[in-house]
Structure 1
Amino acid sequence: MLEANFARDLATLHESVIVPLRHSTVIDDPVRRDAFIKEVFYNYEELRELNGALLHDLVTRQQEYKGGCVPGIGDILLKHFLNFKPFELYCAHMAMSVFFIDREIKVNKILEEFLDTQADDLRRHTIKHYLYSPSQRLTRYPLTLETIIETTDVNDPDYVRLKECNELSKCMASKANALANQLKRRVEIWEIHQCLEEEKGGYYNDLLCLTDSDRRLYHQGIVKRADNEQSHIRLLLFDHVLLMLKLKKGLPTGECQVWKKPIPLKMLFVEESRDFPLRGSSESLASLNSLGLRKRSSKTNGESLTSLTLHYMGRNGGVYRVTCAQPSEQEQWITEIENAKNLLQAKAHKHNLLTIRSKDDECFPLVATPDTRGCAHGKVQCSISFDDKKGQQKIIVGTTTGVYFKAIGHKNVRRVLACEDTTQLGIIGFHENRILLVLANKQLTAYPLETLDSPFNMKPPERLVQVIDRNIHFFKIGNCYGKDILIYKTRKSNGSRLTALKPQRLVELTKHSLTAALSSRKNSYFKDYKEFSISADVKDIVFAEHRLIVCFDHGYRVIDINNVKNPSDGLMPSEADLQSYGLRDLGSLRLLRVYNFRGKRLLCFNRFAMYIGAVDEVSRLHHHFVNVSHSLLWEWEGTPEDILFQEPYIIGVSQQFLEIWNIYTRELMDILVGDQLRVTNYGDASGLDPSIHLCMNYPEKPELQNIFSLRCH
């Protein structure tokens, strides 16, 4: 009788809902209509087939005994239960079915009217009654079987089969329940996605990527604002962010809006947790304030047991205090957040995101102290690595007191140049003809690297140096039209002067002629190539195939090195474009770097990064105007002073942390916290040292500086 009722429910669902719906225009688009039927009713056809086969065998067995007592059905049940996997899958998917039909009814009143017209055929039941029917049937099997087992003699051959069927039915129900719980979390995420759909034109959904298949919701709950107990906040802890939603007044339960900007887990610290940075730390308050962390607030004993103080590190951050209902809730939130952060860190390590190698962490003390044996080498400002003739890897370090050579893994440091305020180092050339370029006190000089590095060199540096130019702000080494080029910037009254030099047949120079050339007062090592002016204060130069991308604060120009008289203005977003992304207060906006990437320009500002469609600037010179596409990638969590690119990652370097973003997924992959972080080298044209060099001070021992390399995978 129970199987017959279930079969009738499935038949009613098929004949009164699914078939009419499939042949109607309730959902106009036929592709979307078929997808809706598949999502809501899932694998119901398999259930009809399984139920029909079971019911047929049960009826056949009953007819064999012509209304008499049936001796057993255990063999029939066992045969069919072994094929009931589709029931588990349907029951697990049921929460998704209900979500999809509720969502469609909310936006499609025609569907609601259609279901009302089918009410008589549905025997006055709602559509959800029929959606839940298979799940209820699966959970009733153990109850029904236990009743039959109680009335069956233990010596009856069917007793063992019935017991086995009962275990199978319990196992099916348990598996279905476990799968359903997983999908319920998925449905909760979809509901949150739907709730945020109207916020800023879906901006938060684009940012949070809640529809990703691997997105996880670890924990959620309702708390109160500490400064307004009438305001309730829904906290949702995902695998990548903490989302804070304010419940809307006067609206149905579940309706909410974003209270504060979502906090990436990498940027989140809980004041009450054991790993909060201010707990017993010796860092300065000013340094911590720049991290977005504040001094620990004083609380009463009662407050400390229930309050939760969330610190959002970085430029976009703040401190948000909420109150939990019970001390146990506070402890659970602390534990869940710590676990989520640990899982995120483990994921980064699993994917081998970064390789970090210390070049030196003790040989370059900033100031003289007893721990540094009275040594002080000044602030590290630049560095570069190279391999000497014997294959030993060495590092050259420029500081405020000079230029130093050091073998990696050894403690001996040798000062080779006593120049103050060394801001940039570079190497050009190959083999024994490599040239070390040093920018110190705005004077650019060149030295023979091998000669300078040799322990047998008896000549003082002043006999090896060749002065290239003075009043130089920075230089770049790159390749254009297959030629190595040194280009440097000097200031002029109305902008910048850029001078490009070409090295003279480096590989053909012998050691003797190279030293003689550098000892000459004449600049015989480089020859003039191009010189041109830009009516702006140039901040960076990027080599892009046959062109130079010259960046300044509020734009960039693209220059063909063989046609420097006709530069073209680079494509830039308008203020209206930026405001369409919700960006305001653009007065302090500065363009730091521009990169070419897969047919687009990657514009890296001090507040955000974005794509802009790369239109050939030649067409713009001839007034062929086109619509230019643009897309905001992300807003920086900090205020980067430099931005580096190692595909597929973009790295924003602020003084207190590095933020590493994936250019494909637009996801914040990692945060590396430090103190006085600065870039000391970003690759070179020769490819001798393609890694990124950075330097940081130790918070516990600020007199020590750690020079390390960073390479993304």
Structure 2
Amino acid sequence: MFNQAKQDRDRHKEHELYFSKGTPLVYPALLSLVAQEFKRQIEIGTRIKNGVEYKSVFDGRQAVSKLALIICSNNRQQALRLGRALGAQKLFNDVSYEHRLLDSENEIYQFHDNVLHSYRMDDPEVSDKEEIADEKYEESEASFEEEQQESHITGVFTELSTCYSPTCSGNKPCYSRSCPKRFAQHPIAESQSKSALGRSVSASLTHTPQPQELWVNQVSSYIVDSLTKQDRKRQENIFELIYTEKNFVNDIEYLYQMWMVPLLTTEVIPTSRRVNFVQSVFSNITTIYEVNSRLLNALQRRQSEHPVVSQIGDVMLDHVVNFEPFVEYGARQYGGKMAFERERATNYEFDAFVKEVERKPESRKLEINGYLTKPTTRLGRYNLLLGEILKHTPEGHSDCELIRKAMDTITGYLRRLNSESGNAKNKFDLKQLHDNLSFKNKSDEMDLDLLAEERFIIKQGPLKKTAALDSSDYQLILLDNYLLITKHKVLSFEEHYTIQRRPIPLDLLVVGVPEQLRIRRASSILPYARPGSNIQHNMTYTTPGRPLAGDLNTSNGWTGGKGGYPISFHHIGRKGSGHFTLYAATLAARRPWIDKIEKQQLALTKNRQIFELVTICDRLFSLTNRVNHTISFDNGRYFLLAADQGVYLGRTGDIAPPRRILHLDHCTQIQVIEETFTLLVVADRVLWEFPFDILHTKTGEKPDAGHKLRQHTPFIFVGECLNKKLICIPKSSSLNSYVSTYEPTLLGDTKKKSAFGRKKAYNEIGLKFFKEIYIPGEAWSVDLSATKMFITCQRGVQLVDMRTTNTQALLDPNDPDLGFIIDREMPDSVLNIRQGVKHICTYRIESNEHLVCYDEYAFYIDGKGRRKRSGFLIEWEGQPESFAFSYPYVLAFEPNFIEIRHMLTGALEQIISGIDIQSLSPALKNGTIRGAMTDASNDVYQVLFELKCLVQPQPKPAPSHLHTLAYRHQNQSTEQPPTHHTWHPSRNTHM
């Protein structure tokens, strides 16, 4: 909810925008057209009056401003009269049913119940031909009901009509005394509006309150004259408290005698549900009657003791402790109101009964809703009345402390009432949504867990499908965890919701405003354009906590106008619905959607934070000098970075930025062999070898020359197997691959040659050839375990026994539980090979249990390649390119976000968003997890970060071993960017 200053700015800018055109939005004389446009333009929200919170309401100043906007007039008095004409036909009413429309921000109004349904209903016209074919019957029924609901708003507001005289032309009024031009030149003053013939709202159409009683009329003038002005004010305030309490008790008696008793004793409501209906609508109002009758008797006794009441605080303090029934009533009021409207819409006898009773003199021309709201409004008015008494009570008077205590007690009840009524309304709406929710596409169906205790609705309202004025509406529902895009219809007096797009988890939602004047780069979690990318970049997006690059409250620079004001949504992830744009009716209606989504995203991030992203450096590496890989050594005290323009050395925890020690282009991988003091670097597909002395080279000095060990090297892998430190160097083609393994050794004889047949310039280092492994197909990644080598190729993962070099598939092809992945690993044609899933890493949880991570799935297998925990399957939200581990969490890196899952349950614990995210080093045995992403605030730099676990580390089950694979070689960068999909715990979390 915006502050008043911001609302005034919004209104002023909207007025300037439309008044400059000089054309009303609709023909202003027809009340039916004005009513429809008013419902479209007005922004309803939550406001507080007298301590009571009201939802889906608007204030009087806002209503008058919107009406002035619609008729394109600066005359607020004229707009006020137009609003009162609409209010007289029950388009809206004061929340307490006490007065008609006032141009005040302190007065709150709500749409009449049957109109509110129309306000929330979708336009029955649907542009898509398939929807017309599929929903023809439902739309015709909804259209009929909508017409029925809006048909009562009729009439002509003659002040704004054209003159009936055919000779009337020009700007001057004609001969007719009622010519509209005459009133345009001489606006009607508010004090004269009631007497203007044919141009005022009949006073009989509004509720006329009873004449206010005064204390001075109840006592002798001698007593009045003996009191000071302050004492007279105090007595008037006390008297007002007492007589309004009497009126309140009488109103409850009216409800009991004129409504409850007849409904319980006649056949208006069927016998089977008569008692339940009365209990639902009137709740515990008889208990409130008992409490307030005792309070009224005590107040009247105190008043009868002496004409001048000396003390009132003790009476109030004795009775306000019994106000608990008000809280219960407020919690059940919304459900009772809905039950009343539903019964009235379906039971014609009950509708006739309502009309008959409301016409009786006892009702004082006030409909039943006005009486049903009195308990909640009465509780809010107590502090207003007691505050006035306290204001005129002298300091030191015994009432001062007693009244303050009573007010504090009432304030506590008001807080609970607002909380309980809000929770009750939320649960009621969620139950209705759960019972009447359907999915347009079967593939989008999921359990939204709408009846969960923690679930709540943050905001809902209509947004247009396109910018066209006659475009149909989507009803958006923002939950605490999802955004739902639905079609909303009222069929057979029941609200029904059809989800049009796959529900969007807020973790995977990007929201923003398209840019109109110039193209900007995205400053959000969206990636930059890559080959094959279809993401639009003519828009500015927001990430949680980051303001938009532009003022949402101005039309300057942003698309908007009569067609609406656009909001762009992007559902990232494997099965995300991509980018789409919807349109708000007004500028003021657009901002709350973005604000509330961002606020809830921040809340989710804070509540579910497992890992904290800690920046290492943010202004050292530009996008032309990207960091591609990092490795730690010397027990984690130092780390090396392989970047596009060389190798950098940094110290862990040092505030000084890393310094460059090698000038090599396109460094993609780096490894440290501490046993032989060797540094291996893959740069531009060439494998280089350097001594440790290079680490001591100062920035700018030319280092000792390294040695080229091998060309055409896509990647290397260093690990342990058969109790040996092994260096794996693949040589691949599209048809076959040879993986050579070497064991680093220390050479004492300076005349010895290295394993590559080249004499060493320094005589302490050597690589001893161990074995060469052959597989048919192109090797994408290599991994080592205690006795095995894992090679991922086009036809799946091949498991090589390093003792015998025998090769077999990692997954048992005869296991039916693995059919979903084996069928993808073993396609029938070369064309389908590129469409297969890619294996990235394997993690051994126990001696006979391994977590296998592919870029689509993760699941468990045993030592023989058969599936374990058949009910467990992780379906990644994105398409991960690498993984990291910090027990018990597995982290999946993809360009748009980092997905953090619990590896024992599969539950999604956290999403960390960013731009062009990449993992720089897999975490070995809970090592440091480092990554890089594009700086969202300055998109020419790359930010390096570490992920610090905030959760107390848990002991890892023994034995355990982590296997990490170097991912695909760079030739695969020409593939299409990955597609994504969303998650849901009930579907993806298994044991």
Same-fold call, TM cutoff 0.5:
yes
Q: Check if 1:218 corresponds to 2:458.
A: yes
Q: Check if 1:692 corresponds to 2:930.
A: yes
1:354 partner amino acid: E
Q: Check if 1:447 corresponds to 2:676.
A: no
What residue is the counterpart of 2:840 in the other structure? 593
Relative to structure 1, is the Cα distance of residues 465 and 163 closer, same or farther in structure 2, using a 3 angstrom cutoff? closer
2: distance between equivalents of 1:707 and 1:395? 13
2: distance between equivalents of 1:82 and 1:711? 51
2: distance between equivalents of 1:576 and 1:257? 33
Relative to structure 1, is the Cα distance of residues 281 and 238 closer, same or farther in structure 2, using a 3 angstrom cutoff? closer
Instruction: String of CA shifts for 1:262-299, please: whole Å, max 9, x gaps.
Output: 3444532221699x993898999956994833436999
1: distance between equivalents of 2:322 and 2:441? 49
What residue is the counterpart of 2:152 in the other structure? none
Q: Check if 1:398 corresponds to 2:642.
A: yes
Deviation at 1:244, TM superposition (A): 0.8
What residue is the counterpart of 1:92 in the other structure? 331
Deviation at 1:257, TM superposition (A): 1.8
Relative to structure 1, is the Cα distance of residues 307 and 411 closer, same or farther in structure 2, using a 3 angstrom cutoff? closer
1: distance between equivalents of 2:658 and 2:865? 57
1: distance between equivalents of 2:717 and 2:932? 18
Relative to structure 1, is the Cα distance of residues 695 and 530 closer, same or farther in structure 2, using a 3 angstrom cutoff? farther
Relative to structure 1, is the Cα distance of residues 171 and 138 closer, same or farther in structure 2, using a 3 angstrom cutoff? farther
Relative to structure 1, is the Cα distance of residues 556 and 268 closer, same or farther in structure 2, using a 3 angstrom cutoff? same
- Given that 2:631 and 2:921 are in contact with CA atoms closer than 8 Å, whether structure 1 keeps it comes out as yes
Deviation at 1:78, TM superposition (A): 7.6
Relative to structure 1, is the Cα distance of residues 93 and 356 closer, same or farther in structure 2, using a 3 angstrom cutoff? farther
1:422 partner amino acid: C
Residue among 771, 781, 789 paired with 1:540: 781
Structure 2 SS opposite 1:233? strand
- Given that 2:883 and 2:893 are in contact with CA atoms closer than 8 Å, whether structure 1 keeps it comes out as yes
Structure 1 SS opposite 2:605? helix
Instruction: String of CA shifts for 1:428-477, please: whole Å, max 9, x gaps.
Output: 336xx54322223444444332x222349999745x6583x554332223
Structure 1 SS opposite 2:779? coil
What residue is the counterpart of 1:292 in the other structure? 535
Residue among 304, 311, 321 paired with 2:569: 311
Structure 1 SS opposite 2:914? strand
Residue among 881, 884, 897 paired with 1:658: 897
Instruction: String of CA shifts for 1:325-382, please: whole Å, max 9, x gaps.
Output: 4x2xx423323422431452365357473223234633x5676xxxxxxxxxx65433
Instruction: String of CA shifts for 1:189-218, please: whole Å, max 9, x gaps.
Output: 344344446676796544x55455444422
- Given that 2:483 and 2:505 are in contact with CA atoms closer than 8 Å, whether structure 1 keeps it comes out as yes
- Given that 2:718 and 2:727 are in contact with CA atoms closer than 8 Å, whether structure 1 keeps it comes out as yes
Structure 2 SS opposite 1:588? coil
- Given that 1:553 and 1:592 are in contact with CA atoms closer than 8 Å, whether structure 2 keeps it comes out as no
Q: Check if 1:681 corresponds to 2:921.
A: yes
Structure 1 SS opposite 2:429? helix
- Given that 1:439 and 1:474 are in contact with CA atoms closer than 8 Å, whether structure 2 keeps it comes out as yes
Counting aligned pairs with the same residue, the percent is 18
Instruction: String of CA shifts for 1:10-36, please: whole Å, max 9, x gaps.
Output: xxx9xxxxxxx9xxxxxxxxxxxxxxx
What residue is the counterpart of 1:435 in the other structure? 678
- Given that 2:851 and 2:861 are in contact with CA atoms closer than 8 Å, whether structure 1 keeps it comes out as no
Relative to structure 1, is the Cα distance of residues 455 and 659 closer, same or farther in structure 2, using a 3 angstrom cutoff? closer
Relative to structure 1, is the Cα distance of residues 399 and 558 closer, same or farther in structure 2, using a 3 angstrom cutoff? same
Structure 2 SS opposite 1:226? coil
2: distance between equivalents of 1:405 and 1:252? 70
Tell me which structure has the larger Cα radius of gyration.
Answer: 2
1:322 partner amino acid: L
Count of aligned positions: 590
Deviation at 1:259, TM superposition (A): 1.5
Q: Check if 1:489 corresponds to 2:730.
A: yes
More strand by percentage: 1
Instruction: String of CA shifts for 1:73-107, please: whole Å, max 9, x gaps.
Output: x999987974775874686378689999xxxxxxx
1:618 partner amino acid: K
What residue is the counterpart of 1:231 in the other structure? 472
Structure 1 SS opposite 2:778? coil
2: distance between equivalents of 1:300 and 1:365? 31
Deviation at 1:403, TM superposition (A): 3.6
1:440 partner amino acid: A
Residue among 887, 902, 913 paired with 1:671: 913
Structure 1 SS opposite 2:484? strand
Q: Check if 1:242 corresponds to 2:480.
A: no
- Given that 2:568 and 2:581 are in contact with CA atoms closer than 8 Å, whether structure 1 keeps it comes out as yes
What residue is the counterpart of 1:337 in the other structure? 594
Structure 1 runs not aligned, ≥5 long: 14-20, 22-36, 62-68, 101-131, 150-156, 368-377, 580-584
2: distance between equivalents of 1:163 and 1:365? 63
Instruction: String of CA shifts for 1:513-557, please: whole Å, max 9, x gaps.
Output: 599989786697444555433334332334566655443456334
2:864 partner amino acid: V
Normalising to structure 2: TM-score of the pair?
Answer: 0.47
- Given that 2:444 and 2:501 are in contact with CA atoms closer than 8 Å, whether structure 1 keeps it comes out as no
Structure 1 SS opposite 2:797? strand
- Given that 2:884 and 2:923 are in contact with CA atoms closer than 8 Å, whether structure 1 keeps it comes out as no
Relative to structure 1, is the Cα distance of residues 221 and 667 closer, same or farther in structure 2, using a 3 angstrom cutoff? farther
1: distance between equivalents of 2:487 and 2:809? 48
Normalising to structure 1: TM-score of the pair?
Answer: 0.62
Q: Check if 1:631 corresponds to 2:873.
A: yes
Deviation at 1:681, TM superposition (A): 3.0
Relative to structure 1, is the Cα distance of residues 601 and 349 closer, same or farther in structure 2, using a 3 angstrom cutoff? same
1: distance between equivalents of 2:786 and 2:441? 39
Deviation at 1:243, TM superposition (A): 1.8
Relative to structure 1, is the Cα distance of residues 224 and 515 closer, same or farther in structure 2, using a 3 angstrom cutoff? farther
2: distance between equivalents of 1:202 and 1:493? 37
Relative to structure 1, is the Cα distance of residues 174 and 424 closer, same or farther in structure 2, using a 3 angstrom cutoff? closer
Q: Check if 1:321 corresponds to 2:563.
A: no
Q: Give the alignment of 1:127-276 within 5 angstroms.
A: 172=413, 175-196=416-437, 204-206=445-447, 208=448, 210-226=450-466, 229=470, 231-247=472-488, 253-265=494-506, 267-271=509-513
Q: Report the RMSD for the aligned CA atoms in angstroms.
A: 6.3
Deviation at 1:245, TM superposition (A): 0.8
2: distance between equivalents of 1:163 and 1:483? 81
Structure 1 SS opposite 2:472? strand
2: distance between equivalents of 1:563 and 1:307? 68
2:422 partner amino acid: N
Q: Give the alignment of 1:630-649 within 5 angstroms.
A: 631-636=873-878, 640-646=880-886, 648=889
What residue is the counterpart of 2:669 in the other structure? 424
Instruction: String of CA shifts for 1:35-91, please: whole Å, max 9, x gaps.
Output: xx9xx99xx9xx99x979x99x99xx9xxxxxxx9xxxx999987974775874686
Structure 2 SS opposite 1:361? strand
Relative to structure 1, is the Cα distance of residues 225 and 141 closer, same or farther in structure 2, using a 3 angstrom cutoff? closer
Residue among 603, 616, 625 paired with 1:358: 616
Relative to structure 1, is the Cα distance of residues 270 and 518 closer, same or farther in structure 2, using a 3 angstrom cutoff? farther
- Given that 1:601 and 1:611 are in contact with CA atoms closer than 8 Å, whether structure 2 keeps it comes out as no
Relative to structure 1, is the Cα distance of residues 87 and 414 closer, same or farther in structure 2, using a 3 angstrom cutoff? closer
What residue is the counterpart of 1:375 in the other structure? none
- Given that 2:739 and 2:772 are in contact with CA atoms closer than 8 Å, whether structure 1 keeps it comes out as yes
- Given that 1:650 and 1:662 are in contact with CA atoms closer than 8 Å, whether structure 2 keeps it comes out as yes
Structure 2 SS opposite 1:303? coil
Relative to structure 1, is the Cα distance of residues 701 and 635 closer, same or farther in structure 2, using a 3 angstrom cutoff? closer
Structure 2 SS opposite 1:474? coil
Deviation at 1:697, TM superposition (A): 7.5
What residue is the counterpart of 2:961 in the other structure? none
Instruction: String of CA shifts for 1:475-499, please: whole Å, max 9, x gaps.
Output: 2233456654433322267433334
Q: Give the alignment of 1:571-586 within 5 angstroms.
A: 574=819
- Given that 2:798 and 2:807 are in contact with CA atoms closer than 8 Å, whether structure 1 keeps it comes out as no
Structure 1 SS opposite 2:422? helix
Structure 2 runs not aligned, ≥5 long: 1-248, 265-271, 298-303, 305-312, 340-368, 387-397, 541-555, 759-764, 825-831, 951-991
1:338 partner amino acid: D
Q: Check if 1:616 corresponds to 2:862.
A: yes
